[in-house]
C-alpha cells in the first residue's frame, strides 16, 4: 500500500492535480461553490444554477492494477478518470430521456441544450464541458467535470464557426486535389453555403452529371414528374452507364464510387425513375455522406407514386439519424412500417423505432 500511495502521489505531482482532501478545484470561479457543496465530489451527477446553470459529474476508477510508472501511464489514468465522470453524465442523460429524472423547467431547457442523448445511436453529445478536479485516495482516482451555461454558449458559437471554416477547408483541399470527396465533405458541413453548392454543381456538370448538377444548384426545385413525356421517352432508352453501375454495386466486393458515377450519369435519361434516385442516395449514404443522400432520397419519394417507396422511407430515416435529426426521422420510420410491413428492408425502421420507443 505504501508503494501504491507513493505512485499515486507521484501521479498527482506530475499531472498537476491534487491528492489532498478536499481536492483542489481547478476552475477558480467554482472553488467556493464546490466548497459549499461537498456532495458534488461524490460519485454522481448534480445540477445547480449558482453561480450559473451547470451540471457537475463525478466519477472514479479503482487504482487496483493501474500502472503509474511513466508520464504516459499518468495521462491515461487521468483520461480514464475523466471518462468515468462522463459515463455518469451518460447515465444521467439516459434516465432523463426515459423520464426517470425530473428537473426544474429552467434546468430542463439547459439540459436539452447541453446534453443531447440519442437513443438510436446510443451516444451522448455534450457541449461546453471542462474538468473541474482530479484527485485520489487509497482506493480510487476521482474526476469531476462540469458543463456550464456560458461554455455551452461558447461551444455553440464555435461549432457554427467550425461549420464555416470546415467547409472552406475542404473547398481549399478540392482546389488542390480535385478529389470529389472533399467537395462532398464541404457539402455535409455547410450545404447552405452558396460557394459550396456552386463548386459541387460545377463538378457534376463537368463530369456530365447534368441532372445531379441541377439538383445541387436548386435543391428545393422538383424534377419533372413521372408523367413528363420527355422523361417517359428517355427512360425507355437503354443506359449502358446504369447497367455497368448495377454490376459494380451488386458485385461481391462492391465498388461504390464507380457505381455512384455510373448512376449519376444514367440519371440524365432516367430522372423520373425513383429506384435509380434511391440507388444514388444509397451510394452517398454508404460512402458516409448522409446529407447528400437525403437530397436524393427526397427526390426518390417525390417521384414515387403516393410519395412512398419501399426502400427510400427507411433510407431517409437512417440518413436523418446520421444528421442528428432523430425527431424528423421518426416520421419516415413509422411510414415505412405502416406501408411496407413485409419488406425485409423495413426491419431497419422497425429496429430504429424499438430503440426509440424503449426510452
What pLDDT, on the 0 to 100 scale, is given for residue 117?
Answer: 61
Distance CA 222, CA 209 (A): 17
Is 15 a member of any domain?
yes
What pLDDT, on the 0 to 100 scale, is given for residue 153?
Answer: 77
Closest CA to 290 of 319, 312, 326, 328: 319
Render the burial of 254-287: b for 16+ CB within 10 Å, e for the rest: eeeebbbbbbbbbbbbbbbbbebbbbbbbbbbee
Does pTM top 0.85 for this prediction? no
Beta partners for 125? 116
What pLDDT, on the 0 to 100 scale, is given for residue 114?
Answer: 75
Number of domains making up the chain: 1
Q: Is 163 helix (H, G, I), strand (E, B) or coil?
A: helix
User: Any residues with CB less than 8 A from the CB of 231 and at least 6 apart, and which?
Assistant: 224, 225, 271, 272
Q: Which residues in the chain come in under a pLDDT of 70?
A: 1-22, 116-125, 156, 162, 358-359
Is 289 a member of any domain?
no
Is 23 a member of any domain?
yes
Judge contact between 335 and 301, C-beta under 8 A: no
Closest CA to 92 of 42, 44, 33: 44
Give the domain extent around 133.
Answer: 2-151
How many residues make up the chain in this entry? 359
What pLDDT, on the 0 to 100 scale, is given for residue 256?
Answer: 93
Burial of 5 (0-12, 13-18, 19+ CB in 10 A): middle
> Is the bond into 51 cis (omega within 30 degrees of 0)?
yes
Is 357 a member of any domain?
no
Closest CA to 196 of 166, 171, 159: 171
- What confidence tens digit (pLDDT) does each residue in 153-172 have? 777 677 777 677 788 989 99
Grid coordinates belonging to 233: 421517352
Q: What radius of gyration, in Å, describes the C-alpha atoms of the chain?
A: 26
Is 85 a member of any domain?
yes
Beta partners for 56? 46, 146
- What confidence tens digit (pLDDT) does each residue in 73-91 have? 888 888 899 999 999 988 8
> Is the bond into 252 cis (omega within 30 degrees of 0)?
no
**Residue position matching grid coordinates 492535480:** 17
What pLDDT, on the 0 to 100 scale, is given for residue 15?
Answer: 46
Distance CA 321, CA 29 (A): 38
Is 285 a member of any domain?
no
Q: Is 58 helix (H, G, I), strand (E, B) or coil?
A: strand
Is 81 a member of any domain?
yes
Is 330 a member of any domain?
no
Amino acid at each position: 500500500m505504501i508503494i501504491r500511495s507513493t505512485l499515486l502521489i507521484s501521479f498527482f505531482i506530475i499531472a498537476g492535480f491534487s491528492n489532498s482532501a478536499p481536492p483542489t478545484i481547478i476552475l477558480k470561479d467554482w472553488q467556493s461553490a464546490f466548497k459549499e457543496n461537498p456532495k458534488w465530489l461524490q460519485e454522481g451527477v448534480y445540477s445547480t444554477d449558482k453561480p450559473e446553470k451547470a451540471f457537475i459529474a463525478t466519477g472514479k476508477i479503482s487504482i487496483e492494477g493501474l500502472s503509474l510508472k511513466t508520464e504516459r501511464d499518468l495521462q491515461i489514468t487521468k483520461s480514464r478518470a475523466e471518462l468515468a465522470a462522463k459515463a455518469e453524465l451518460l447515465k444521467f442523460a439516459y434516465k432523463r430521456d426515459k423520464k426517470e429524472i425530473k428537473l426544474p423547467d429552467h434546468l430542463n431547457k439547459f439540459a436539452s441544450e447541453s446534453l443531447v442523448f440519442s437513443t438510436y445511436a446510443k451516444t451522448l453529445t455534450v457541449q461546453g464541458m471542462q474538468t473541474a478536479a482530479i484527485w485520489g485516495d487509497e482506493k480510487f482516482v476521482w474526476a469531476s467535470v462540469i458543463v456550464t451555461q456560458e461554455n455551452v454558449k461558447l461551444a455553440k458559437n464555435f461549432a457554427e464557426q467550425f461549420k464555416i471554416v470546415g467547409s472552406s477547408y475542404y473547398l481549399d483541399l478540392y482546389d488542390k486535389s480535385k478529389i470529389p470527396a472533399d467537395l462532398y465533405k464541404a457539402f455535409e458541413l455547410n450545404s447552405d453555403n452558396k460557394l459550396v453548392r456552386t463548386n459541387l454543381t460545377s463538378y457534376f456538370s463537368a463530369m456530365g452529371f447534368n441532372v445531379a448538377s441541377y439538383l445541387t444548384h436548386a435543391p428545393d426545385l422538383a424534377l419533372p414528374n413521372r408523367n413528363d413525356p420527355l422523361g417517359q421517352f428517355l427512360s425507355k432508352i437503354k443506359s449502358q452507364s446504369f447497367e455497368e453501375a448495377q454490376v459494380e454495386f451488386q458485385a461481391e466486393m462492391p465498388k461504390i464510387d464507380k457505381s455512384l458515377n455510373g448512376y449519376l450519369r444514367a440519371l440524365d435519361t432516367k430522372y423520373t425513375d425513383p429506384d435509380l434516385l434511391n440507388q444514388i442516395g444509397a451510394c452517398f449514404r454508404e460512402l458516409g455522406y448522409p446529407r447528400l443522400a437525403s437530397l436524393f432520397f427526397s427526390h426518390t419519394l417525390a417521384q414515387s407514386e403516393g410519395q412512398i417507396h419501399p426502400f427510400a422511407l427507411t433510407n431517409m430515416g437512417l440518413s436523418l439519424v446520421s444528421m442528428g435529426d432523430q425527431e424528423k426521422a421518426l416520421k419516415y420510420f413509422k411510414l415505412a412500417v405502416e406501408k411496407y410491413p413485409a419488406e425485409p428492408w423495413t426491419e431497419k425502421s422497425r429496429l430504429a423505432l424499438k430503440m426509440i420507443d424503449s426510452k
